[in-house]
Chains A and B, each alone.
Chain A
Amino acid sequence: MAFIPLAYNVRNLAARRTSTSLTALGIAAVAWVFIFTLALAGGFEAALRTTGSAKNAIVIRNGASSELMSIVSREAADAVAAQPEVARAADGAPLEASELVVIWNLERKSGNTTNVIVRGVTPRSLALRENARLLAGRMFRPGVEEIVVGKMLSERFKHCGLNERIQLAGRVWTVVGILDADGSAYDSEIWGDVELFMPIFDRPVFQNVTLRLDDPSHFEALKKRIEADPRFSLQVRREDEFYAAQSGMMATLLRTLGLFVTLIMALGAVFGALNTMYASVSSRTKEIGTLLALGFSRGAVMLSILIESTILCVFGGLIGCLLALPVRSFTTGTMSFASFSELAFRFQVTPGMLLGGVLFAACMGLVGGFFPARRAARMPITEAVRQA
């Protein structure tokens, strides 16, 4: 099949600047919402995915699907720490941290309140989180009413700035450090001394034991032994998989709601493209008839109009991508179903999302161009060539 030159389509679009621009802007808006939605869900997922490390394992109560639902006794925590698969620090001490997790209601800078995670940690906790470091200030001192707060939490909540004081569980705590955990969930947490937190928050047990494996391949051996131990009812999970699983339900919800909005908008945009292409085909009846008379097949004409519609929508999609790039700097927070607390995260725009936006726009072009293309291909040549 001989093809109608692409220049014909591109120049036709350029010749109809106003309708082309308006349609492209409509498509751009849809592509923007599409990418925004994926960036929102992707950011949420990434925050939890990067929270865990493949080198670490997390031990929680058997049957618990989150840290909040878990309890680990001090006796069990000691037993876990003594396992041979647990890596050792230079001083020979096991690289593990028995931690406490509670949720606490704090006031946002915007005025409303929400739950945040308050984590009781040990001096080893920071070393176990490879992506976490102190951005400002210092680590809290054991036994002292000092805390460090995650970077995003510090930005979003009242009294959480460095050296500020905040009331938790009836005590006043000084923020002595700001934690930067590379966009992970720890950026939305408050950390303090677990041994001090336990009596203050009235929690006699830990929620988890996080440990560094001496070799990630030893995970199965550790899991088998701990889960088979009749003294405790514990489960062992790879830390990265555990946190990634936490994001599932919320990410799916965000994605579903976002895509629903996108589809509604896409419907409108497809009608816009349809209208533009119908008008374009209608005003080019004589040209299309001439191409058919010259010997171009009806298939070639249909393909040409479909390509034109797709070019138009891909152009819109590319505009949408450009407009979506600044979304990367957006930060938001949402309730995590796993912890019933706010998880702040940065939108994540990936090349795959941008490509998805362009492909989605191309699909809108194909759908919007189909009927006008079919009309063009079915034109009676004798009538078309005589149009004024």
Chain B
Amino acid sequence: MTAGGEGKQALILLRDVHKSYYRDKIEIPVLTGVSMTVGAGEFLALMGPSGSGKSTILNLIAGIDTPTRGAIDVAGSSLGTLKPAQLSAWRARNVGFIFQLYNLIPVLTAFQNVELPLLLTKLNGSERKKRVRLALELVGLQDRDHHYPHQLSGGQEQRVAIARAIVGDPTLLVADEPTGDLDAKNAAEVLTLLQRLNREMGKTIVMVTHDPHAAERADAVLHLDKGVLKEQEAARA
């Protein structure tokens, strides 16, 4: 199943991906045979009811979880072949994370939070500083660099998180309910920002959301239900 944007070079490729969790030795399947392709530069929304497996797909694509079966290729790497340390380095290079609850480090300033991914690169202090300022400027928070997360509003916190996600210039942004904890105004601002990152900077974005308004901003929407892509199910039928 191609998410959309046919003709674009595939950045993400999932082939017959299965994922199960075990509770007291009882297998709980979460994904059953998901295959999909996401082209480079696409903005894809994943929708579905709670427990449908959409966050699991996001985690697998981002390399913070591993499938029970199947293959996942992202940005030219076959994630299943990477060792844990290689996977960490791969994430640092290729993935920017945007979480529902922002996941900023409370004891670090906005500047220091945004700088974190750059500490994993070989950039020197002044280069890092330049990149952090640029990222904060892009999200409109250049004047809040010395503020701690508790000194920012929810919308501002999420924009700092977006700055952190893009500061390392990753290929892929994964956003798990990025507007789930925001009011309508801030949610709209964050979605506009994501759209800009997609359209102006060519970032590939995979976003999990419950919100149909948020999903409307994406180029394509895939629906999951009980671990199966609905579009895939329809195609099989």
Contacts and interface: CB of A to CB of B under 8 A. Distances in A.
Interface residues of B, number: 27
Contacts of B93: 295
A11 B88 CA distance: 25
Interface in B120-151: 120
The residue in A2, A295, A296, A386 that gathers the most chain B C-beta atoms within 10 A of its C-beta is A295
A296 B88 contact: yes
A294 B117 contact: yes
B132 to A, nearest CB: 13
Nearest to B100: A386
A295 B103 contact: no
Interface string A277-298: 0000000001101111111111
Nearest to B64: A381
Interface in A275-320: 286-287, 289-299
A293 B62 contact: yes
Contacts of A381: 59, 64-65
Interface string B98-129: 01010101111000100011011000000000
Contacts of B117: 294-295
A292 B92 CA distance: 10
B84 interface: yes
Contacts of B89: 295
B65 A385 contact: no
A385 B106 CA distance: 14
B91 interface: yes
B108 A385 contact: no
A290 B64 contact: no
A11 B107 contact: yes
A381 B59 CA distance: 9
B64 A388 contact: no
A299 B120 CA distance: 13
B43 interface: no
Nearest to B66: A382
Contact of A12 (B88, B92, B107, B116): B107
Given A381-B65, A382-B64, A385-B64, A294 B108 contact: no
Contacts of B116: 5, 291, 294
B237 interface: no
Interface string A361-388: 0000000000000000000011001101
B85 interface: yes
Interface string B59-103: 100101100000000000000000011001111110001010101
A296 B120 CA distance: 7
Given A8-B107, A290-B103, 8 more contacts: A2-B119, A3-B119, A7-B107, A287-B103, A294-B91, A296-B92, A298-B84, A386-B55
22 contacts: A2-B119, A2-B120, A4-B119, A5-B108, A7-B112, A8-B108, A11-B107, A11-B108, A15-B107, A286-B101, A286-B103, A287-B105, A290-B103, A292-B64, A293-B64, A293-B91, A294-B92, A296-B88, A296-B120, A297-B85, A381-B64, A385-B99
Which 8 pairs of residues, A with B, have the shortest CB-CB distance? A295-B92, A11-B107, A290-B103, A381-B64, A2-B120, A295-B91, A295-B120, A382-B59
